Amino acid sequence: MDPADLPTLDPALADIVALLPDLTESLADVAGARAMLASFVPEGPVPGEELVETSEVPVGEAARVRFYRPRGATGRLPGLLYLHGGGFCLGDLDLEHGLAVELCHTLGAVVASVDYRLAPEHPYPAGLDDCYAALQLLAARDDVDAARVAVHGQSAGGGLAAATALLARDRGGPELCFQALGIPELDDRLDTWSMRAFTGTPMWSRPQAVLSWQYYLGGREADQYAAPARAEDLSGLPPAYVVTCELDPLRDEGIEYAMRLLQAGVSVELHSFPGTVHGSAIVRDAAVVKRMDAELVDALRRALAPDAAQA
């Protein structure tokens, strides 16, 4: 894509945007897209891996959860349920391993990274059921402080995080102290201004969103747990940290969801980062990406602090 087509694009992101292929039809071949992503998994240890201990257990009918625990930590620790992105049909534990390691040792928390079942083979509610079951496992651990459990996800993972928070509220627990929704995919109706306008943006655009929801719903009508933007009552949900990107078709549904949370009496911190596109995080050295990362960690650290649980 020509960066000139995005006049407000952050200059630090221009080079990578110019190199990105046309991804409009990338989800049409799910198997090919998964194989492409698998080639990006780094070989060998990731930074900070020596600081954490990992274990895996099955969850739900055919999924896994990988637990990350700070090596040598004692007592009850905060817990973070981490849900990867990928349009409900891509992504796995290995792709997210580096970030899970970083969140674990940076936050001093037990992180549960969920290898939930993917569409289209396993349409809604399979993936969400796995996420909720993983939350139950995390909150029940002897080394986790059940009063300090949060959920975080990016993109489709952000939508699943919002849906998990709704399920936890409506099923009477486990109680969440915080939800961090990064560039969340929340609304199957695809009718916001940004979703209608951004038909050719890099990394994520309207045509991909259409396929993503078709795969995830599998012909089923969306309810509030499939598409949290449809929820009529957002009261009683945990405080939220919501991130959107200026040049992302998902931008407006994230902003609107944050506003509706506020109107329902939920405390919200909303950051809409200028000049960014969906997936800007791949440009690790960009100042705006470093700021996005630092502010997310700061929000999670504050939410999971012992004094926050006592407040």
- Check residue 38 and give its pLDDT: 85
- Check residue 193 and give its pLDDT: 98
User: Do the bridges between strand 240-247 and strand 178-182 make them parallel or antiparallel, or are there none, so unpaired?
Assistant: parallel
248 is catalytic: yes
User: pLDDT tens, position by position, for the chain (311 residues)?
Assistant: 667 788 999 999 998 887 765 555 678 889 988 888 888 787 778 899 999 999 999 998 899 999 999 999 999 999 999 999 999 999 999 999 999 999 999 999 999 999 999 999 999 999 999 999 999 999 999 999 999 999 999 999 999 999 999 999 999 999 999 999 999 999 999 999 999 999 988 889 999 999 999 999 999 999 999 999 999 999 999 999 999 999 999 999 999 999 999 999 999 999 999 999 998 988 989 999 999 999 999 999 999 999 876 55
Exactly one of 26, 155, 194, 212 is catalytic; name it.
155
- Check residue 27 and give its pLDDT: 80
- Check residue 173 and give its pLDDT: 96
Q: Side chain identity at 144, as an amino acid letter?
A: V
3 state DSSP class of 57: strand
Exactly one of 92, 130, 248, 252 is catalytic; name it.
248
Exactly one of 92, 212, 278, 280 is catalytic; name it.
278
* Residue of 208, 258, 206 lying closest to 237 (CA atoms): 258
Query: Which residues, in sequence order, are CB contacts of 19 under 8 Å at separation 6+?
Result: none
278 is catalytic: yes
- Check residue 39 and give its pLDDT: 82
d(C-alpha 62, C-alpha 67), whole Å:
17
- Check residue 61 and give its pLDDT: 82
Rg (CA), the chain: 18
d(C-alpha 235, C-alpha 298), whole Å:
25
d(C-alpha 188, C-alpha 191), whole Å:
8
- Check residue 20 and give its pLDDT: 67
